[in-house]
Structure 1
Amino acid sequence: MEDKSHDLIIGYLQSRLTRKEMDSFYSWVNENDENKKLYFETKAIYDACKSSAGRKTIDINESWQRLLLKNKKRKFLGVEFQRFGSYVAVVFFAGLIALSVNYILNPHTGKFTAKYVGGDGIMADKVELPDGTIVTVASNTTFFYDSDYGKKDRVVHLEGEAYFDVAKQKSKPFIVKVKNQSIEALGTKFNVMAYPSDSLLTTTLVEGSVRLTTGNNAKETVLKPNQQLTYNNIRNVIEIANVDASRFTSWTTGYYYFSQQTLKAIFYKLSHVYGITFDVKSEDLNKKIFTGTFYRGQSVNNILEVISLSIPIKYEINDRVVIISE
């Protein structure tokens, strides 16, 4: 079955399927999430092989076998990333150098600040703080802290999205400062999404506990694992929901999982991943439900192509604006 699926996908990508085979392909790709995932992973290999022309010939069947091996081992771009061929290595290293760091004088505190800016590479960028805390920085994100970090307290600042794995230091609380919100943690793992242009600030707790002070609210809020707090800083409204926290942290491994999500929610997330704007011409389209998995290395065009297999949409990409219509 794996070989048959492979033939269908490659035939589709090469535009050589008959009408009957096209029907088989569409039926297969819409059967389940795994098939959608397999489609875009194979397409990533196919596109990489095409883009490697003139540099080094990569056999797509050999790459396919490596993909199957990866699926069995459930490892991706770890210590065995070399096994995926040179095209992955090229993108991997591009991802590593996408994170930039600058040491600048903070005009507000007069202290030197370590400022990190997340890129758009395949791998999520990681920063290790002086105390051993690990911060995973998302695309189009700025994360910084002052030179006296850890002396009296541990305060960091975030504009964008990051996942925090905080080192325990009971005498020195770890505090994340975002727009109109302060998040305090003691030895915990949590995700924060707080882009400057957004009205929503979202904190999702994976492990431990966090205490949030929000806007002008004097009352503090404490989250438990698998709880998510969303703050609308325009309406000054707080909402707390029970969620599957792993779904909101999957981006750290290079994948974005959407389970029964509206297109509005999906486009909202992708707008930050790719630094683009989605202009949806129909509110009915915004409400459409989609389930699927996307890979951080995919192009926006690839993602929209996969979505269009399940939901009939038309799309037009104009520079940094994507127009979606029925």
Structure 2
Amino acid sequence: MNTNNTYRDIEGLITRHLSGEILMAEQEALDLWLLEKQENRKAFEEYEKIWRKTKDAKPVEKVDVNAAWQRFENAITNREVKEIPTGKVIGLFSRKVSRIAAVIVLLIATGLSFYLYNRLSNPEIHLATTATEIKVIELPDGTKVTLNGNSTFDYRKKLGKQKRKVHLEGEAYFEVARDETRPFIIETNETSVTVLGTKFNVNSHYKNKSVEVVVNSGKVAFETRKGNHQVVLEKGERGEYFKKGKTIAKSANNDPNFLAWKTKELIFENRTLADIVSTLNNVYHINIQIENKELELCRMTASFNNQPLDEVLEVIGLALDIEIKETNQGLVLSGEGC
């Protein structure tokens, strides 16, 4: 198992293990990681020590680093200056360095304690789907997320007081609860989508050459994570981020089946068999191949409403005089063409 593809960071697995909230599959992934090398085991033990020391801690007040450092400098400046024998200069310098180091260590330790407390009191929730699975998730703010197959979704138990930020790898349909004071932000590896309240689809599968956003209602801002390119999309519009060129294009959405994976409603108007098969592979999570190029260009018009795949293929087979063969890899469509 490649834990980097299945879980966004190993720290989340360790946290869920120590808090007793880890799932069986996650525990297996963590065990494999611990067995990979001795350094992993040492890192786990260090994290465990910090956990034990901080799990019962109360939130600490935010440390004003500048003020602490100023007090430290004032203490040194206001100290009575005396003539120092040459032989003692090195020793005094060493003691000053030690004091400075102690202050820095104290600040780091306090900041780390505050950071760990926030992480542990507001854990990250990780959800994943199998190839044929669809999950419906309701977030604490009332937002509804429908997660397509082969996808992962991460969010904090408390979404945030100023921003509601989540992370998606794969495809999902969002129905975001409106909140004018807290923008909802979906982050992918290279892009982000920011909204206040709307309905839209995001497809960010890592194998794809692009990230696609299609807006069903409302308005969204689609941009690169670096913030150097942004487009605003409204109902009926589609944005596409091209990973190779690092650019975003905006256009009208001419695909009536962009939500077919969720609704199972299919509309094909004079579409080529190649286009139809591509849609069926995404909607039914199957591998359908076309045997020859001539067959790919055959066109047909048909619509289907939540019908099983075998019924859809039967109609296509009769319409285009196609033979359907089952193999170990999936299905193969063959015929003489149109």
- TM-score class normalised by the smaller sequence: 0.5 to 0.7
Q: CA deviation at 1:307?
A: 1.4
CA distance in structure 1 between the partners assigned to 2:268 and 2:225 by the alignment: 30
Q: Are 1:310 and 2:319 counterparts?
A: yes
2:200 paired residue number? 190
How many angstroms does 1:228 deviate by? 0.9
Q: Which residue does the alignment assign to 1:150?
A: 160
Shift of 1:209: 0.8
1:115 pairs with one of 107, 126, 137: 126
The match for 2:23 is: none
8 Å contact kept, 1:140–1:275: no
1:270–1:207 CA distance, 2 compared to 1 (3 A): same
For 1:115, give the aligned amino acid. Answer: H
| Matched AA of 1:139 | G
Residues 139 and 272 in structure 1, CA contact (< 8 A), matched pair in contact too: no
Q: What SS does the aligned partner of 2:170 have?
A: strand
- Other structure's SS at 1:211 match: strand
Distance 1:223 1:108 in 2: 39
> Which 10-residue stretch deviates more, 190-199 or 203-212?
190-199
Q: Kindly provide the amino acid, as one letter, of the partner of residue 125 in structure 2.
A: A
Cα deviations by residue, 1:76-119 (Å, 9 ceiling, x for unpaired): xxxxxxxxxxxxxxxxxxxxxxxxxxxx9626996633233346
What SS is found at the alignment partner of 1:248? coil
1:167-246 equivalent positions in 2, closer than 5 A: 167-214=177-224, 218-243=228-253
**8 Å contact from structure 1 (residues 160, 196) kept in 2:** yes
Structure 1: tracts of 5 or more residues without a match: 1-103
Higher helix share: 2
Aligned counterparts of 2:201 and 2:247: Cα–Cα separation in 1: 20
Q: How does 1:39-118 map to 2 (within 5 A)?
A: 106=12, 112-118=123-129
Letter in 2 for 1:116: L
* Structure 2: unaligned runs, 5 residues or longer: 1-9, 16-118
TM normalised by structure 1 equals 0.57
Distance in 2 between the 1:173 and 1:217 partners? 16
Check whether the contact 2:128–2:150 (CA below 8 A) recurs between aligned residues.
yes
Largest Rg, 1 or 2: 2
Partner of 2:175: 165
How far apart are the structure 2 equivalents of 1:146 and 1:254?
31
CA apart distance, 1:127: 1.3
Q: Rate the CA distance shift 1:259–1:107 in 2: closer, same or farther, 3 A.
A: farther
Q: CA 1:184 to 1:261, structure 2 compared with 1: closer, same or farther past 3 Å?
A: farther
Aligned pair count reads 220
Higher relative contact order (CA 8 A, sep 6+): 1
**Alignment partner, residue 22 of structure 1:** none
Q: Name the SS for the 1:257 alignment partner.
A: strand
The letter for the 1-side match of 2:275 is A
| Aligned residue number for residue 79 of structure 2 | none
Q: Give SS of 1:266's match.
A: helix
The aligned counterpart of 1:253 is 263
1:291 aligned residue? 301
Change (3 A) 1:246 1:315: closer
User: In structure 2, what is the Cα distance between the partners aligned to 1:165 and 1:237?
Assistant: 26
Q: Distance in 2 between matches of 1:108 and 1:203?
A: 33
